Amino acid sequence: MFRLLLMLLAMTVGAQAAEAEEDGPAGPASADRAKVVKAAKSRSSHKRVAKRRGRRRGKTIGWAVPEKRLLAKPAPPPSGRLRIYSINYKDEADVSIYNADGSFNTDALAEVKHAFRCRRTGLEHDIDTRLIAILSHIYEHFGDKRIELLSGYRYQRRKTSNHYHGAAADIRIRGVNARKIRDFVATLDAGGVGLGWYPRIGFVHVDVRPPPSYRWIDYSRSNPHARDRLPPRGFKRKAPES
């Protein structure tokens, strides 16, 4: 009996040794493959982690848009129809921004300019026609639904803002997810467009700027009283004329 047990034990050990020799140790190629897979997973999860952290901490996540993701040439002109409503002044511009010959209609631009006026100072500023054309594209794409303007021109302390230069708009459309607006505008970008998505507040920032184009997601809460958005020191708003 004892000899039989010894024989069985020897056979088991031999089989395990043969199995180990057949599999062999993890060679360099296997290790390299493991590293590649790990790096790929790390890259794919990096953005998700950044977004989760940004959402949790109320931070802004931004990135420049690679040239290969932009249009090779500018998008065709829009129809020119635009209906934009100022939630600050409770008035709207319902215009056609083009003349019959394709030039910009100065009266229509003046109406848009008036709707864009600074909510704190009441001052007006010429609005970049590239931005107005993008807004017309948006209006047309989403079934002629009125665009609500949360913030247009801002006469403020921070002069580097595109709002200060009449080249930015914070917008939303009733019944349309702000992310869909952002994604559509991205399809028009041939360079020089800024797009910000504000999930907590539910609007999209659109601006025109020197290249490169830029995208961001801002998870912070609204802070309309931030110092850099206030009028320059010493500014006094004139009383309305009687």
Question: In this predicted structure, what is the pLDDT of residue 14?
Answer: 44
Residue found under tokens 């088991």 = 12
Residues 196-223 as b or e (16 or more Cβ within 10 Å = b): bbbeeeebbbbbbbeeebbbebbbeeee
Q: Quick one: pLDDT at residue 236?
A: 82
The answer, as to whether pTM is greater than 0.85, is no
Angle 120-123-126 (CA atoms, 0-180°, nearest 5)?
A: 130
How far apart, in Å, are the Cα atoms of 148 and each of 48, 172, 202, 235?
31, 5, 12, 28
Contact 62, 54 (CB under 8 A): no
Q: Which residues of the chain have pLDDT under 70?
A: 1-58, 224, 239-242
What per-residue confidence (pLDDT) applies to 45? 55
Question: In this predicted structure, what is the pLDDT of residue 72?
Answer: 95
Check residue 84 and give its pLDDT: 98
Q: How many CB atoms lie within 10 A of CB 165?
A: 18
Average pLDDT, the chain: 83
**Residue 35: its pLDDT value, please?**
55
Q: What pLDDT is recorded for position 18? A: 38
Per-residue confidence (pLDDT) for residue 31, from 0 to 100: 52
- Res 42: pLDDT: 54
